[in-house]
Amino acid sequence: MVSPRSRRLPASSPTPSPRKSSWRPATKRPRSCRRSRRRAEVDPRGVVLVIDNYDSFTYNLVQYLGELGERVVVHRNNEITLGEVADLQPVAAVLSPGPGTPGDAGICKDLLLELGPTLPTLGVCLGHQCLGEAYGGQVRRAAQVMHGKVSRVHHREQSIFRGLPSPFTATRYHSLVVERDDLPADLEVTAWTEDGTVMGLRHRQHPLAGVQFHPEAILTEHGHQLLAHFLQDARAWRNTRATAGDPIAE
């Protein structure tokens, strides 16, 4: 997502990120959030890993996950390796919104390709675009820039959209979209706007999903429920795969 409202800091910059002060609506991060630049340790209770793509919306997602009872670990997209993700053994991963293109999203596409077959992952906005591009889709400029715009999102009540009304209202902050016309066979459109713009994706074999809109935005309806469905699906997948001996699911 290309946006004038945020700029990515270089990884080598000693200056603290200004997004720490833009955390909304609370004045401090929720207790359920733990951030560390050191090697992640396994939490026997299970954690949700959030990859921060240097965006002010990241901690809104963290707050929603905390309100759903999750223990959350946050790492920026260039401050954790695939090996450390595997060692963490998260219940699920969430790829946050962010500025730029999927090529600017650090570890995100590699995580989707290398760990995606066994790690349930939800991409939000830029994270959704990473899912599309990682598995062969095309990301292009949107016909209209949608920064802070509200749209009606339609779906077939599949996957994370089950039980939600169709359409429902969602908030959008993006100027890039996943192209629908040449979507690869591995990816399925799960939600769309009235003009046909892709608002949701899922992988047909792997536990991967994406939403172009922001479930954590205050004007998005049913955001908590959508995230709760993703977490339910993640745990069901984890329980199923644990019997097969997958390291990420043990």
Active-site hit among 75, 128, 206, 216: 216
Q: Which of 214, 221, 222, 229 is catalytic?
A: 214
Catalytic choice (125, 130, 222, 229)? 125
Active site residue 125: yes
130 is catalytic: no
User: What residues contact 170, with CB distance under 8 A and at least 6 apart?
Assistant: 150, 151, 152, 153, 199, 213, 214, 215, 217, 219, 220, 221
- Give me the active site residues, please: 125, 214, 216
